[in-house]
Amino acid sequence: MLKQRIITAFVLLALLLPVLIVKTVWPFAALTLVAIALAGWEWSRLNDAGPLAVALGLALGAACGIALYADWTTTAPRVAWWSALAAWVLGGVWVLRGGVAGWPRVPRPLRWAIGLVALWTAWLALVNAKAIGLNFILSAFLLVWAADIFAYFGGRALGKRKLAPAISPGKSWEGVWSGMAGALLVAATWLAIDNVAGLGDESFYTIVANRFGYLGLALVVVFLVAMSVVGDLFESLVKRSAGAKDSSTLLPGHGGILDRIDGLLPVFPIALALVML
């Protein structure tokens, strides 16, 4: 399993790094479009779409393609970010309060639409973040990755109080606090390096600190980590409702694409909403 995870990680990095480094947006947009379409297929399968899962995944890819053709990859309507923020904050609370038993009671077409719209908006936010600059998108990625890593190790070392045992038994409140502390540490470090080294385009942390101050940056980082936890729990709830351990087996050793991007889904649209203020 570990060997599979390492090989898959290297393959993913080999695909992702070149399209991140190149200045033009469309190679990154095209690669992530394929990934999001496959995530749409995974979501549809988990939500009882049956044979329609492939068609729904293709429809999501087509919707991303239309946005790419319309040049929304650099100038997407700001209402998309604010709508996503409201949907994740209010809808996330509603779904998590309903629990595993409540999700299947939501009509299937609505369940399909919720996931596909969330994936489409996240893809749009990702490519808009790439258009802002490499420093920006990497700093936003690292916020989520750092929160995950610190939450994992903090939870293993300190975890006593379960966060949502019926949804994800392994998660603890101590893990959440550790993830927030880790993300704050990364934000402070990145900001310091950014100010000294002058890395070209502004990072997410620099933009937020310039607009809201250091206290505002800390609050934004904590809020985004909390929303990444909501995204993670949401996907876990859907998988548990479907009786699945992973969203698919597309990524050997890692599960499916949804398993790797669940925390990113709310973070990038919300980050775009905040920096567009």
3-state SS, residue 167: coil
Please give the average per-residue pLDDT across 38-66, as a whole number. 96
DSSP 198: -
Mean pLDDT, the chain, rounded, equals 92
The pLDDT score that the predictor gives to residue 106 is 95
Alpha carbon distance 113, 115 (integer Å): 6
The residues spanned by each domain of the chain are 2-275
Q: Quick: pLDDT tens for 21-40.
A: 898 999 999 999 999 999 99
Q: What is the pTM of this model?
A: 0.94
Give the span between the Cα atoms of 44 and 276, in whole angstroms.
32
